[in-house]
Amino acid sequence: MVLRHALFHAMTTANGWVSVQKAEEILGIDRKTLFKYRDDGTLKLGPHFAAFPGCLSRDGYRWNTKAVRKHLQKQGMMPMAS
């Protein structure tokens, strides 16, 4: 079971899907704001966040930080990278 979890974590991270803790670091956005954007429809299930197997709470969601950054920049909600 531990090996399967480690393999799953490596696969999702390699594909750009990261934990909320890592998304906070990468994006510079706190989890409260990420969850607000999720709840108000700013970010969409599928392209921006997903609940993968074994996800028991919203803290377990994985975030596609590249897609989130691109979408928020397009919406004028995040500065463009310099």
What is the rounded CA–CA span in Å between residue 21 and residue 7?
19
What is the rounded CA–CA span in Å between residue 77 and residue 54?
31
Global confidence as pTM: 0.77
Give tens-digit pLDDT for 3-13: 444 434 444 45
Fold of 2-74: Multidrug-efflux Transporter Regulator; Chain: A; Domain 2 (1.10.1660)
Domain boundary assignment for the chain: 2-74
What is the rounded CA–CA span in Å between residue 42 and residue 75?
9
Give tens-digit pLDDT for 49-58: 998 877 777 7
